[in-house]
Amino acid sequence: MLESELERAADETKAKGIVGIVTNVQTGEVLALASWPGTSGYNRATSSLYEMGSVFKTFTVAGVLDTGLATIGTELDATEPLMTSDGRRITDYHAQNRVMTLEEVYLHSSISVRRAWRGCWG
């Protein structure tokens, strides 16, 4: 059923690929997991890389601060989009396009949080 809904959504939106994950919100149990297109042996949900986004910024910034590798005043470059190793260009939704402190990055920039992570852990 999930696969057919993904295919319908892909047709409707002209998406190149879609991932669907259904969980029990009470327990976190994964009830269904699928991706479209259904390439043999490849599932985008388990085999693709995804950006951390705003939800994980808290954990990333906490880790950077906890290790002592940065302070809340550490400056990070948010002037340019982030290029991934596979050539994808990632931009902030509300880009500030300037150098920002880690505190400002936490509020305004997912790409610079990723840069902070890379700077600390490669």
Query: Hey, which residues are catalytic here?
Result: 54
Q: What six digits make up the tokens of 25?
A: 């919100």
| DSSP letter string, 68-114 | TS--TT-EEE-SSPEEPTTS-EE--TT---SEEEHHHHHHH-HHHHH
Do residues 21 and 33 make contact, with C-beta atoms less than 8 angstroms apart? yes
